[in-house]
Structure 1
């Protein structure tokens, strides 16, 4: 997909909410994802820290979405929710299947790879895709869905329970293989 034909971002159709700040030592805004965040290389979720969220926040959710995937509906790489409001940072690798670094009670829903963890970037050869890491401030301690829910169901609940949103967008282009 060319830059002129890029798909909308995942929140373009959600109600506007206040923004807050998310940062990462592993990912700079608009920069190329590191090898650690590529599926065939490190497949490791980046370290994320956030601040400035609404005072009434009761929990957080974190997602990673590729709006440029050639699916017609994008591709969900990470869906994590029910993170306690006292947690404002996830270490690198917290999205791994072992759940190391995740706070008690946090729930991984399945991603579009079909696994309950972070799945790294894997665009078709020669294509540059955006990877939208989003932290949601949520108005309840429990969002409602469970670990077997699809990303669409989690997104549906987030649409109605998000108090604020922060995002960090990185890019990755798979080698063309020429």
Structure 2
């Protein structure tokens, strides 16, 4: 194969590989853009609607038996970020969540987050702390049930997800108060 043909072959392989990667999209939030107040927490000095955004994902890897969804703020002034949502044990047939989803109605579980309760907790950066990033991640998992409980610490769940995930995709929105 000449160098031109080799280049075309390699480019084709790279395009095929990237087309196969898990992808996450949303009708409510956009990569790198500010979120609406609808997705702000209600409490802790914030008065938003505390609704989770609509999320969809495609290009699910072979072997996926369930999904987890997380929302994480790496910019929180805690030294360890802030977990805003941990939903898991979503059946592999679920590839979309509506705004304000009730995870239990889909057969999934939600773990305790850094607000001290289970469920979605919207953005609520400290006033004057500047822009924060909110990373919404879908995790494709090779197991039906994640080996955690609703009281497992968020960082331990994050470790578990990173250890076993077949693939993950992240959509990062922003928020400033």
Q: Does residue 69 of structure 1 match 2:76?
A: yes
Alignment of 1:1-178 (within 5 A): 19-39=21-41, 40-94=47-101, 99=102, 102-104=105-107, 106-126=108-128, 127-174=130-177
Unaligned runs of 5+ in 2: 1-19, 42-46
Give me the TM-score of the superposition, normalised by structure 2. Answer: 0.82
Query: Per-residue deviation at 1:19?
Result: 3.8
Residues 77-126 of structure 1, C-alpha deviations (whole Å, 9 max, x = no match): 001111000100111101xxxx367411x110001001101111111112
Larger radius of gyration: 2
Structure 1 segments of 4+ aligned residues over 2 angstroms from their partners: 99-102
Unaligned runs of 5+ in 1: 1-17
Work out whether residues 93 and 101 of structure 1, in 8 Å CA contact, stay in contact via their aligned partners in 2. no
Work out whether residues 134 and 166 of structure 1, in 8 Å CA contact, stay in contact via their aligned partners in 2. yes
Q: Report the number of matched residues.
A: 152
Residues 118-137 of structure 1, C-alpha deviations (whole Å, 9 max, x = no match): 11111111221000000000
- In structure 2, the residue matched to 1:8 is none
Higher helix proportion, which one?
2
Give me the TM-score of the superposition, normalised by structure 1. Answer: 0.82
Q: CA RMSD in A?
A: 1.3
SS of aligned partner of 2:87: strand
Work out whether residues 93 and 100 of structure 1, in 8 Å CA contact, stay in contact via their aligned partners in 2. no
